Copies of this chain bind each other. A is one copy, B any other.
Amino acid sequence: MADCELCSEAKRASAFWQNDLFYLIDASCEATPNFVRLVLKRHVPEMSDLPREERVRVWDALNAIEEAMREVLSPAKVNLAEFGNMVPHLHWHLIARYRDDMYFPESTWSNAVRGLPAATAERLARNPALFKRIAEKLA
């Protein structure tokens, strides 16, 4: 769809993994150093707009990403969210959470409750291993 950021070729080109149904991008930053976004290729707003077979493929992929995060990062918790209020193009946020991260135990959409932890650079440096493990699981 024209004017949709998630439909853009530039966004797709930044994917670290993709198939016919969805692509995965690295949404990490210092505040949320291990953050993967799964974006549907088609422009639909809701999970219930998909046929069940495609929904199950998305759910299985979310589970594979969650498992990879647990294996590679040992986070305190994995957070999953599908909002799409700003960009009504189906996408999922998967965020590894740590007890000392800027928002814990609040959501990463809440106000920060502390500063950046010392482990930030080390956590960012684990992303190549995370993305490799995700690709292995989705292969």
Contact = CB atoms under 8 A, between A and B. Distances in A.
A76 B88 CA distance: 9
A104 interface: yes
Contacts of A8: none
B55 A81 contact: no
13 contacts: A46-B66, A48-B70, A55-B59, A56-B59, A79-B83, A80-B80, A80-B82, A83-B107, A85-B97, A85-B104, A106-B109, A107-B107, A107-B109
Contact of A67 (B48, B56, B67, B82): B48
A81 B63 CA distance: 14
Task: Decide if the interface of chain A is mainly helix, strand, loop or mixed.
Answer: mixed
B79 A85 contact: yes
A78 interface: yes
B81 A80 contact: yes
Given A55-B59, A106-B85, A80 B111 contact: no
